[in-house]
Chains A and B, each alone.
Chain A
Amino acid sequence: MNSSLLFNITTIAYFAAMVVFIVFLTSRNKALGFGATLICWVGFLANTAAIGMRWYEAYAMGYEQAPLSNLYESVVFFAWAILLIYLLFDLKYKQRAIGAFVLPFAFGGMIWAQWSLDATIQPLVPALQSNWLTYHVFTCFIGYAAFAMACGVSIMYLIKSGKEEKSAEQSPAGGLLGLFPSVKVLDDLNYKAIMVGFPMLTLGIITGAAWANYAWGTYWSWDPKETWSLIVWFIYAAFLHARFTRGWVGKRAAWLSIFGFAATIFCYLGVNLVLSGLHSYGGS
């Protein structure tokens, strides 16, 4: 048993769960919803074991480092965090239909990592050799995962509210949308997920600043990554305040949540893949 086999099992489980969730929505068979959730748990356990195994493998190679050291490891950790948040919300609110809109994020991350990212275990460069790395990455990714959840729920909100507006006079939405939670519940879940994500992002930014100060003597230097994390923070802060203002709940809140997650993904991937590319190409 090694970590790459376990990561394969994880990817397959997330794919299977995603498919079963979609079939569940179309067939409205409750047993399928339960089955999909069960597959999620299997995948989550495999994901957990895989990360633990990779940690051990790095240790056996003589590198004392948590498995959060490169893009590959961060992506599989992101998938893990998404499942963690999703399963916690499932335990608390038991809204099975949401799985169909959250699992694609986790599966997408896993398949991208498996297919095109470098999975070799590399030792950490001196700048990253710190316990702060673990605290910083952990808090940020729990935050990102909660935002992924909020984004999935917001997409459901927009689909459902769009349909309800069209068929206001007809009977309540049936078909695919029959198992969707009500717009009120979706709106509330969106808010609840961001309520988890926002303090975690705040902690992530603070631990990042504390680490930067400890390693370089500057807690804030407006580099693109830092700035984008602040942009994400501003967007969700706007979201939280919009809840208290008339005219900003519902659809606008859902859109803000989706924009917020787009900015989150840009902060996570875009800054490294696009902005640095722009600079390095421009420089040569």
Chain B
Amino acid sequence: MSKEQSFTDRLWDFFCSLKLAIVTLILLALTSIIGTVIEQNLPVEEYLQKYGMSESTYKTLDALQFFDMYHSYWFLSLMGIFAVNLICCSIKRLPRIIKTVRNPVLVADDGLFRTFSNKEEIVAAGTVASVRDKLVVLLGKKFASPVVTEQDGKVYLFAQKGAYSRFGVYVTHSSILIIFLGAMIGNIWGFKAYVNIVEGKSVNQVWARAGQQPIPLGFEVRCDNFDVTFYEGGRPKEFSSELVVLENGQEVLKKTIEVNDPLSYKGLTFYQSSYGPAGDPVYQFRVRNRATGETVDVMGQQGKHLPLPGGASLIPMGYADSYQNFGPAAQVSLDSGDHKHGTPFIVFQNYPQFDEKRGGEFAVTLLGAQQSYFTGLQVAKDPGVWVVWLGCLLMVLGSCSAFFLSHRRLWVSIQPLQKGVGVKFGGAAHRNQPGFTLYFDDLKKDFDDALSS
């Protein structure tokens, strides 16, 4: 029986210990490195090729869950131990702190005075009552209004400041648990998804990033227009999508989103993340018959035969926004009327004379190509995110109070002596002792001044 008791006691002490906290933090730091060296969640083949892993190495590491380590059982267990450690420490220490704050020791006996490193004794003139009144006023003005206790002809004063800073540590600790809670809520009731919308089209479902399952939205999102702008020199400056939310065909919300400026509707948020060409571009060419000098403009989609006078046709085959720094270019071929593709060649929008040099029946110039785009959106639903932000806010407030505020307490005992009044006072701070010593030395002077006048 006693053996069992001691086991649970030991277990409890183990989970309350500061050593466990330090060891857990260091283990979390060390193990976290693994996932930054081994890229996470790649397909099997990539690990075998990219890292030159043998199949057996792969199997071992996979069994250790090194390829998705931040969601592995052992890493989550480590986080779990961290959380249990935080909870146990708080349960163990909090009641004592609450007692210290709620029911402070009002009467300082000699035993307590011996524990102070900041203390002073003065013999003052006057009566116990007059000294008491002077010190009550002084403390109220310089520090905090004291609690007065009269006992056996002696008077005791107690004053404190910043008592609540004692809770800073526990606010910080619970903020971590709150962030964990927010993350769990997000994992259970939220999702991450993506969707591509072609300009002018609308969607009513998105695709989960994990599992690629469709998720119905319950409303429609249409992309009216997509736009991309570039800096001089070709770096992308901004890309944006004009989005419209439709409920039963009715427009309910309209917003142009950009990277760093998403659209939110009914708990879902749509983020601009990528873009790309949608379908084949529509081309416009000017074709000159070199023999007759006759010029004709033709227009049509990729792969189509665009008829030219005299039975021949032009077939656009591909497009590039910038072909080897010569600007927009198209690859085309000619069909001289026998329904066969001729040798493909390149024509440029910015160099209309270029194709004259090729020779042959026709000289072709690219007038332009219209490429329609799709906009790539990340879609996220995370009902836990506000819980996470609450946790972050508490963490900032808690750690500021834990680091920069201090619980300072002062005790005074006033007792009649054979000649005069004996005043003993001392104090303690639970943090920043050197700072408190400076403060206490100033206070000593104030006491001297007040009691000698």
Contacts and interface: CB of A to CB of B under 8 A. Distances in A.
A282 B192 contact: no
Residue of B236, B379, B403 with most partner-chain A CB within 10 A:
B403
Interface stretch (B345-353, B382-390, B411-419, B439-447): B382-390
Interface stretch (B23-31, B108-116, B304-312, B324-332): B23-31
A242 B389 CA distance: 28
B32 interface: yes
B380 interface: yes
Residue of A132, A220, A222 with most partner-chain B CB within 10 A:
A222
Interface stretch (B151-159, B258-266, B277-285): B258-266
A279 B35 CA distance: 13
A127 B259 contact: yes
Contact of B380 (A218, A230, A238, A282): A218
B378 interface: yes
Nearest to B21: A241
B185 to A, nearest CB: 13
A12 interface: no
Contact of B389 (A203, A210, A245, A283): A210
A129 B238 contact: yes
Residue of A203, A213, A263 with most partner-chain B CB within 10 A:
A213
Contact of B32 (A231, A248, A283): A231
A203 B396 contact: yes
Given A216-B378, A219-B385, A271-B36, A126 B18 contact: no
B400 interface: yes
Contacts of B260: 126-127, 129-130, 132, 214-215
Contacts of B438: none
A217 B269 contact: yes
A218 B32 contact: no
Contacts of B32: 227, 230-231, 234
Given A217-B262, A234-B25, A235-B26, A199 B399 contact: yes
B399 A248 contact: no
Nearest to B18: A245
B262 A214 contact: yes
Contact of A222 (B22, B40, B399): B40
B271 A215 contact: yes
Contacts of B37: 275, 278
Interface in A149-190: 188
Contacts of B379: 217
A209 interface: yes
A244 B237 contact: no
Contacts of A219: 385, 388
B399 A202 contact: yes
Given A125-B236, A245-B19, A235 B29 contact: yes
A279 B26 contact: no
Contacts of B192: 217-218
A174 B404 CA distance: 35
B39 to A, nearest CB: 6
A183 B396 CA distance: 31
Interface residues of B, number: 48
A123 interface: yes
B358 interface: no
Interface string B350-393: 00000000000000000000000000001110100100110010
B50 A227 contact: no
Contacts of B58: none
A199 B168 CA distance: 13
A122 B235 contact: yes
Contacts of B258: 126
A198 B183 CA distance: 23
Contacts of A279: 39
A117 interface: no
Chain A interface secondary structure, helix, strand, loop or mixed? helix
A132 B260 CA distance: 9
Contacts of A275: 36-37
B33 interface: yes
A195 to B, nearest CB: 5
A230 B28 CA distance: 9
A237 interface: yes
A238 B192 CA distance: 33
A224 B18 contact: no
B219 interface: no
B395 interface: yes
A130 B395 CA distance: 24
Contacts of A230: 32
A188 B399 CA distance: 18
Contacts of B207: none
A206 interface: yes
B239 interface: yes
Interface in B234-264: 235-239, 258-260, 262
Contacts of B205: none
B51 interface: yes
A125 to B, nearest CB: 7
A198 to B, nearest CB: 7
A60 to B, nearest CB: 15
A283 B385 CA distance: 35
A147 interface: no
A217 B399 contact: no
A203 B403 CA distance: 14
A228 interface: yes
B193 to A, nearest CB: 9
Contacts of A227: 32, 35-36, 70
Contact of A216 (B28, B237, B271, B385): B271
A95 to B, nearest CB: 14
B399 A234 contact: no
B202 interface: no
A217 B380 contact: yes
A133 to B, nearest CB: 9
B235 A125 contact: yes
Given A127-B259, A206-B395, 6 more contacts: A123-B235, A126-B239, A199-B399, A202-B399, A206-B396, A279-B39
Interface of B: 18-19, 21-22, 25-26, 28-29, 32-33, 35-37, 39-40, 50-51, 70, 183, 192, 231, 235-239, 258-260, 262, 269, 271, 273, 378-380, 382, 385, 388-389, 392, 395-396, 399-400, 403-404, 434
Interface of A: 122-123, 125-127, 129-130, 132, 188, 195, 198-199, 202-203, 206, 209-210, 213-220, 222, 224, 227-228, 230-231, 234-235, 237-238, 241-242, 244-245, 248, 263, 271, 275, 278-279, 282-283
10 contacts: A129-B238, A129-B259, A199-B396, A218-B192, A218-B380, A220-B183, A227-B36, A234-B26, A238-B21, A282-B51
